[in-house]
Amino acid sequence: MKKCKNWIASYLRTVGAKRLIVMVFGNIFLGMGVSIFKFAGLGNDPFSGMAMGLADLAGVQYANLLLVINLFIFVLELVFGRKFIGAGTLVNAFLLGYITTFFYGIWTHFFPLPEELWVQIPIMLAGTVVTGFGVSMYQTPNVGISPYDSMSIILSERIPKIGYFWHRIFTDAVCALICYLAGGIVGLGTLVSAFGLGPVIHFFDVHFTRKLFRNGEDIL
């Protein structure tokens, strides 16, 4: 127990509290963005969409099923990609589903579900911006990546002849297929998440998040 406390204290000193704060807020915005995508009803990112489709099929809460899926993938990350694990991994894996559910409950409490495309598309675009901002804040501090995000990196390291981009396309395609087979929504939101989030994340990286750090040190 004492060794565990000492390790945690050492980790916090090494990482820095401010990096952890940025990461936590990043996951909050990420969960908010995923909930906005879900509220728009045009499809989520492949991994979230898969979890939502399986949850609906099984008749269980999305957050609970996402936790189980993340636990399984976390074991794989622990075995094959331990270097990618950090505080960000744990927050994303075990809390993101509940953050998403919390915000989705707010949207559905105060607003009716949009049914017309001209309303759904602006909501989806808002979700793109919020999600991109959240991913930028969650990844830039470099304090651990989610189990799912680690899979394509681990695959690219173990099968280097196939680049990271194609491994990511493969994992996203598998998730999208499972989402479709489970009766989930695979639509415009799925495509925007898969191919449109990158430029948004890059924009926030350059114009906001990286400015919080200078030469690896917090300047908040």
> What's 84-109 look like in SS3?
HCCHHHHHHHHHHHHHHHHHHHHHHH
Instruction: Tell me the two tokens of residue 52.
Output: 């939502």
Average pLDDT, integer, range 198-202? 92
**Which has the higher per-residue pLDDT, 214 or 162?**
162
Q: What pLDDT is recorded for position 198?
A: 87
- Residue 144 zone, left/alpha/beta (φ > 0; ψ -120 to 50; rest): left
> Domain extents for the chain?
17-214
Q: pLDDT tens across 78-96, in order?
A: 999 999 999 999 999 999 9
> Residue 16 — very low, low, confident or very high, per pLDDT cuts 50/70/90?
confident
Strand partners for 217: 214
The model's pTM: 0.90
Q: What pLDDT is recorded for position 9?
A: 62
Q: Please, are residues 190 and 38 in contact by the beta-carbon 8 Å criterion?
A: no
Q: pLDDT tens across 98-142, in order?
A: 999 999 999 999 999 999 999 999 999 999 999 999 999 999 998
Inter-CA distances, 94 with 38, 72, 73, 128, 149, Å: 19, 12, 12, 22, 14
Look at the block and give the residue holding tokens 């936590």: 24
What SS3 state is found at 213?
Answer: strand
Q: pLDDT tens across 160-196, in order?
A: 888 888 999 999 999 999 999 999 999 999 999 988 8
